[in-house]
Amino acid sequence: MSDPTVQPVHPSVVAQVDAADVTLSNPRVAVLSLGSNLGNRLETIQGAVDALEDTPGVRVKGVSPVYETDPWGVEPGSQPAYFNAVVVLKTTLPPDSLLERAQAVEEAFDRVRTERWGPRTIDVDIVTYAGIVSDDPRLTLPHPRAHERAFVLVPWHDLDPAAELVGHGPVAALLAGLDRSGVRPRTDLELRLPE
């Protein structure tokens, strides 16, 4: 689905971002978690990946496999199942600007925030950003519940088996202590890495 609110990026901007990938002395890598349990879940998540890629200063470098997961923090059966995935990106944006972009993507896909852990068309969370630790209430880094969420850690581990969550340790070790039964691979579905 093409999102009319997301403007295409001029090719020269893309070239500048690609050049920044090479020239940054300390590349900033961010991991974002994407989830959807309303509407066309796969199409919406792909649209969010594409919208992130269309952001000046952002290059999506990896997209995980898709997982279908039970809703977290609510009674079983009270909501439809989620599709979840993780993206790894390089960015020249500071964390607060990346958060603003993530929220703009949610808004473009009609994300409604009426109840905590309520159903949603799309959820775009910054899991970690360049190893930064921050307790800023607007953007806590790393995400304060990522270490206990199999629906974040399983796809992240698939994408990067050596990944570490700052302050918590290797993702593989964190997964060893979590129940993964509600996180089911959807091998019939695939997200495209933007070209």
Q: Express each pLDDT in 90-144 by its tens digit.
A: 999 999 999 999 999 999 988 776 667 678 899 999 999 999 999 999 999 999 9
CA 107 to chain centre: 15
Summarised one tens digit per residue, pLDDT across range 22-69 is 444 445 999 999 999 999 999 999 999 999 999 999 999 999 999 999
The active-site residue out of 28, 41, 101, 120 is: 120
Sign (positive or negative) of CA dihedral 44, 89, 139, 74: positive
State the catalytic residue, choosing from 123, 135, 149, 184: 123
Q: Of 96, 4, 12, which is closest to residue 50 (Cα–Cα)?
A: 4
150, HSE (Cβ side, Cα atoms, 13 Å): 18
Domains of the chain: 11-185 (3.30.70.560)
pLDDT band at 13 (very low <50, low <70, confident <90, very high): very low
Average pLDDT over residues 75-80: 79
Closest CA to 44 of 99, 1, 81: 1
Residue tagged active-site, from 50, 54, 125, 149: 125
Q: What is the pLDDT of residue 27?
A: 58
Nearest residue to 46 (alpha-carbon basis) of 158, 184, 192, 152: 192
- pLDDT exceeds 60 at position 181: yes
The pTM is what? 0.84
| Three-state secondary structure readout of 21-58 | HHHCCCCEEEEEEEEECCCCHHHHHHHHHHHHHCCCCE
| Residue 125 falls in the annotated catalytic set | yes
Catalytic residue among 111, 158, 160, 184: 111
